[in-house]
Structure 1
Amino acid sequence: MPNFNRRQFIKSLSTATPVLRGIGAPAALSALAISGCSQVNTPNIIRMAVTGRPQMLDPRKATDALSSRVNRLLYRQLIDFDDSFSPIPDLAEWQQLSPTHYRFSTREQNRFIDGSPLTAEDIAATYLSVLNPEFGSAHRGSLKNIARIKVIDNLTVDFHLNEMDALFVGRLVIGILPKRLIEQNHPFHLEPFGSGACRCLSISEQSIVLERRIDKQQLVFIPVKDATVRVLKILKGEVDIVQNDLSPELVNYCQQQKQVKVKFSRGTNFGYIGFNFEDRLLSQLPMRQAIAHGINRQAVIDAMFKGHARLGEGLLVPEHWSGVQGLDDYEYNPSKAKALLKQVDIPAELIQKDKNNQPFIELSYKTSNDPTRIRLATIYQSQLKPLGIHLKIQSYDWGTFYNDIKKGRFQLYSLAWVGVKSPDIFQYVFASNAIPPKGANRGRYRDEVADALITRAAQSDSIAEQAELYRQLQTRLHEKLAAMPLWYEDQYAVLRKEISGYQLYADGRFDGLLQCQKKVTAQVNL
């Protein structure tokens, strides 16, 4: 299928006026799916089951991934990103007139959902509202370098910065709102009003209903918290699409069902194991290296993900414009891991003996109580045990787990970074001055060399120089195992057979809903 171009799609608008327990999930699905019948397929309604209700449909305040993905359908932004995550024009092209002066010019007359024109005044008003501290936008921090915004004419607006920032253009991802409604304090979170490919028809606790402006196709987002129930609903025909957020077992089960098809695509979500650098053992590089060489990542990918992931190298995928190709692999090598363990200075009081009088050390590993994450933890546990590293798995509800991680109450943990596009993520995650609550340096990693590279990259006015500095930084972080890379998980979607033309994207966006179609079928007993 040719790549779907959201800009071209939207441009064409201008021419158109209970949790199942006690048995395994697949077995439970088989038992339940035989009852009832599928819903009558209505071609003008495509239903997607999502994990919850999008929290914020005002793009100036949206921070969760689900809201951001729905907002992309409702609002247009100044820029978008290409396959290497470099910024490209969406609403506007730009010129850099000086190190601190950018001019954005819209290339055609864009219109809001009521037909009114989108102008430079709307662009300025949107960003000025984000910069207003009384408004309380979480995005204000990334845009605080804006000194002033000046409207030049109906289609042209200038941004003046306090200081040079080579990554500035990539920060302009806020959906544009109409100035007149901003001034009226319109409740965009309840009544979205943008210039995107879709308009919002209704919002309730049960669903959010959008309509594609070009063909009146309705897109319905239905919150279904439980993954097993989401699968059950798509098998019964109550929903048409489920994208991501299923266990590997459920995905494999769906692949065996005749009512649905499963589509995969490469993803960018970076799974990793985090270390506490204030811990006596994990602060030592040989200890971290021993763990890295003691876990068979490829075997986990093959067993858990059926090959639908690829080995991770750095936080940014290698194809990113500042990514690194060919970082040294921490290959599975138990012999090397044992040799590295002998280099670790282990206090005598931390050495224990098993029933066979063999010495071992115990490390706590914290994870959420998600079944897949617990299964992964048990795999790591079984792989590290022969080395003399015993993992004590501690699983908690998400809120407790995440709070412990932010506060540094862990030795080892595992999480994933989702949808990362800009390399300034390294300042947020690995800088010495970014320890929570000032950032997300949860492992308390401190490295003068890394700090210097982060600072130099941020101060550079050359994208080429930045790319080189960020590559040096990633090489350094990889060598020091600031975090242990696991894998980049594939994106996937489970689709009813009636759905065609659905496209997946590496960052998990829902843009595939803008061009997919639904075929009419008769009601069928299951």
Structure 2
Amino acid sequence: IAIVIVIAIAFSWLYFFQAPPQKPTETTSIITTPTKTETPGKYGGELVVANIADVLRMDPMLVTDVPTYTVIYQIFDFLVKYNYETKQYEPALAISWEASEDAKTWTFKLRKGVKFHDGTPFNAEAVKFTIDRVLDPQSKSPLSQDFRDNIESVEVVDEYTVVFHLKNPLASFLDRIIRSQGAMIVSPTAVKKYGDAFSNNPIGTGPFMFKEWIPGERVVLVKNPDYWGGAPIIDTLIYKPMPESAAQVAALQAGQVDVILSIPKESIEILEKDPNIKVYKSPGYTTFGIVFNHKSEFFMDKRVRQALNYAIDKDEIVNSLFKEIGVRIYSPLPLASWAYTEDVNKFEYNPEKAKALLEEAGWKPGPDGILEKDGKKFSFVCITQEGKEAEDLVTAVQSYLKKIGVDMKIQIFEYGTWVDMLVTHQFDAAYIWWAAAAGDPDHYFPFLFYSTGWANCGLYNNSKVDELIIKVSQTPSFEERKKLAAEAQRLIVDDVAWIHFYSKYTTVAMKKIIGGYYVASPAEGEIDFYKVYFTSPKR
């Protein structure tokens, strides 16, 4: 999974974001709804899920947003899966794997008898095809560069044995590559059949099969009766886009949806007290902040970025606005990460220091109180996605900056447009978030802060940080990786690539008559409906 933004996967992610494609009027698969089956005490039927936005592209190698990842997570499988309770990797499409002594060669033994949703066989050739698509220099995948930086080649030994040859040791190989969306195994036959339209006709080996997408209205999946792990009990999964969290809550309480994936802070207590609803809450891997475009005329000077960081009371913003849904962080990693450190410059609220730094950088108060330099006012635009959480944060930032003579204007965009502007660097400053599949720093640093990282929206560039990011990836020692990651965090924070605010709890709410659900992952997007069922027939 590695996602700002919804950054994600990476998830490996990902802060997930991607420019929206041209959406068809309607996409319908050849898949038909399987015969309904039920087990005593466990009932199938139609499970309706409120998604925070519509899907963009459903080709895994192109997915960089959480709402789409949430859907394709049901359609495709990885070679391995990760058990967040036991902290162990477990078999999925691969039944076993081993690494060479130098950690540069990884051999996977594959599960036999698995078929894609189009009836074609899963085998080593399908694995090689999937990875080679991302490795292709002409690939449109944002993960392509990272794959090429790490993978030398993929070798088919026999029908059910595949070998990955790496260019260098990679401590987080299973997480960063094998469990990234680019390594979700696709049907070679379907990709060749549909070409670019595969994004609208996704075919995998997962527990649910794509049936229909009506843009702006719903995505429909049906259960895979031949799933290698056994058929799901739920017959149909329907995802409905609902950008407003309050609308999701109202729909859940009214019985219009069964599951919601975004709970506003003011609704958590209400839902927890509702006898018909169950709320699941766990520490998450999603981080939130403000990113500066380091090529913007306003923010090329490090002193200016530091000044704005001192000018904002981040503790007060998080405590007053996001306490119920997140926890304050001081570095680029979430609090749940084993590599997180607070041994950094915390940029505690100090407006006087902010003013001094700005004056040192040449910004002086103008007649209207707005700072000026060389006849130009310090007036810039911060872009954000629509939604209460995003708008609350940027509005709070705006009010603090006004106090020191900085005029920050806010422009609010529809989700897809905001993502497009982020990845094409069309902003001075921007609200940003990144959702990862795990807390390993390799799910954050290479994508967000490496000079050529695909999710480095602010065009941050520090050669020392680049060196540290590579060392964190390649060093086998856990303790040494932790030290290197801490050093990288100190530099990134001091440079103010982002202003860091909070990491969010992963929250899911659903009807109490839904059984079989467990928190499969703290990562946003990895919501597993495979074993879910209704405890009584749905009315």
Question: What TM bracket, shorter-length normalisation?
Answer: 0.7 to 0.9
CA distance in 1, matches of 2:538, 2:101: 62
CA distance in 1, matches of 2:58, 2:426: 34
Task: Report the counterpart of residue 79 of structure 2 in structure 1.
Answer: 78
What is the one-letter code of the residue matched to 2:317?
V
Cα distance change of structure 1 residues 287 and 253 upon mapping to structure 2, 3 Å threshold:
farther
- Give yes or no for contact 1:271–1:416 (8 Å, CA) kept in 2: yes
CA distance in 2, matches of 1:428, 1:288: 21
Query: 1:142 offset after TM fit, Å?
Result: 2.8
- Give yes or no for contact 2:115–2:121 (8 Å, CA) kept in 1: yes
CA distance in 2, matches of 1:364, 1:230: 33
- Give yes or no for contact 1:311–1:486 (8 Å, CA) kept in 2: yes
1:338 lines up with 2:343 in the alignment: no
Cα distance change of structure 1 residues 130 and 338 upon mapping to structure 2, 3 Å threshold:
closer
Task: Report the counterpart of residue 430 of structure 1 in structure 2.
Answer: 449
Unpaired segments ≥5 residues, structure 2 = 1-41, 225-229
CA distance in 2, matches of 1:280, 1:60: 34
Provide the alpha-carbon RMSD of the alignment. Answer: 4.1
1:176 lines up with 2:185 in the alignment: yes
Determine helix, strand or coil for the equivalent of 1:339.
helix
CA distance in 2, matches of 1:366, 1:51: 22
Q: TM-score, normalised by structure 2?
A: 0.73
Which of these residues, 357, 364, 382, is aligned with residue 366 of structure 1? 382
- Give yes or no for contact 1:260–1:494 (8 Å, CA) kept in 2: yes
User: How do residues 75-474 of structure 1 correspond to structure 2 at under 5 angstroms?
Assistant: 75-81=76-82, 83=84, 88-91=89-92, 92=94, 93-97=96-100, 99=102, 101-106=104-109, 109=112, 111-112=114-115, 118-132=122-136, 136-144=140-148, 145-169=150-174, 170-173=176-179, 174-177=183-186, 189=199, 192-196=202-206, 198-200=207-209, 202-205=211-214, 206-211=218-223, 213-227=230-244, 228-244=246-262, 247-249=264-266, 254=271, 259-277=276-294, 282-283=299-300, 285=302, 287-321=304-338, 323-328=339-344, 330=346, 332-333=348-349, 336-346=350-360, 350-353=364-367, 362-368=378-384, 370-372=386-388, 373-386=390-403, 388-398=404-414, 401=418, 405=422, 410-419=427-436, 421=438, 423-424=441-442, 425-432=444-451, 434=452, 439-457=454-472, 460=475, 465-474=480-489
Query: 1:45 offset after TM fit, Å?
Result: 2.2
- Give yes or no for contact 1:59–1:175 (8 Å, CA) kept in 2: yes
In our comparison, the structure showing a higher alpha carbon Rg is 1
CA distance in 2, matches of 1:476, 1:328: 8
Aligned pairs, number = 472
Determine helix, strand or coil for the equivalent of 1:210.
strand
- Give yes or no for contact 2:232–2:531 (8 Å, CA) kept in 1: no
Query: 1:225 offset after TM fit, Å?
Result: 3.7
1:176-232 Cα distance to aligned partner (Å, 9 max, x none): 245666676697655544333x13162231331232643432242232344254333
- Give yes or no for contact 1:191–1:200 (8 Å, CA) kept in 2: no
- Give yes or no for contact 2:450–2:466 (8 Å, CA) kept in 1: yes
The structure whose RCO (Cα within 8 Å, separation 6+) is larger is 2
1:41-90 Cα distance to aligned partner (Å, 9 max, x none): 98522211223443444434434333333323222212334549988343
CA distance in 1, matches of 2:408, 2:401: 11
Cα distance change of structure 1 residues 376 and 127 upon mapping to structure 2, 3 Å threshold:
closer
> Which moves more between the two structures, 199-208 or 246-255?
246-255
CA distance in 2, matches of 1:138, 1:446: 19
Task: Report the counterpart of residue 45 of structure 2 in structure 1.
Answer: 44
1:225-257 Cα distance to aligned partner (Å, 9 max, x none): 44254333322212100102x544455665565
- Give yes or no for contact 2:284–2:503 (8 Å, CA) kept in 1: yes
Cα distance change of structure 1 residues 370 and 440 upon mapping to structure 2, 3 Å threshold:
same
Unpaired segments ≥5 residues, structure 1 = 1-40
1:134-170 Cα distance to aligned partner (Å, 9 max, x none): 6755543332253433222343221223455444443
- Give yes or no for contact 1:453–1:470 (8 Å, CA) kept in 2: yes
CA distance in 1, matches of 2:109, 2:499: 43
Determine helix, strand or coil for the equivalent of 2:501.
strand
Determine helix, strand or coil for the equivalent of 2:467.
helix
Task: Report the counterpart of residue 529 of structure 2 in structure 1.
Answer: 513
- Give yes or no for contact 1:405–1:442 (8 Å, CA) kept in 2: yes
Identity %: 18
Query: 1:112 offset after TM fit, Å?
Result: 2.6
1:483 lines up with 2:483 in the alignment: no
What is the one-letter code of the residue matched to 2:287?
F
Query: 1:518 offset after TM fit, Å?
Result: 1.9
CA distance in 1, matches of 2:538, 2:340: 51
Cα distance change of structure 1 residues 441 and 167 upon mapping to structure 2, 3 Å threshold:
same
What is the one-letter code of the residue matched to 1:234?
L
- Give yes or no for contact 1:94–1:102 (8 Å, CA) kept in 2: no
- Give yes or no for contact 1:81–1:87 (8 Å, CA) kept in 2: yes
Cα distance change of structure 1 residues 287 and 263 upon mapping to structure 2, 3 Å threshold:
same
1:7-40 Cα distance to aligned partner (Å, 9 max, x none): xxxxxxxxxxxxxxxxxxxxxxxxxxxxxxxxxx
CA distance in 2, matches of 1:265, 1:215: 25
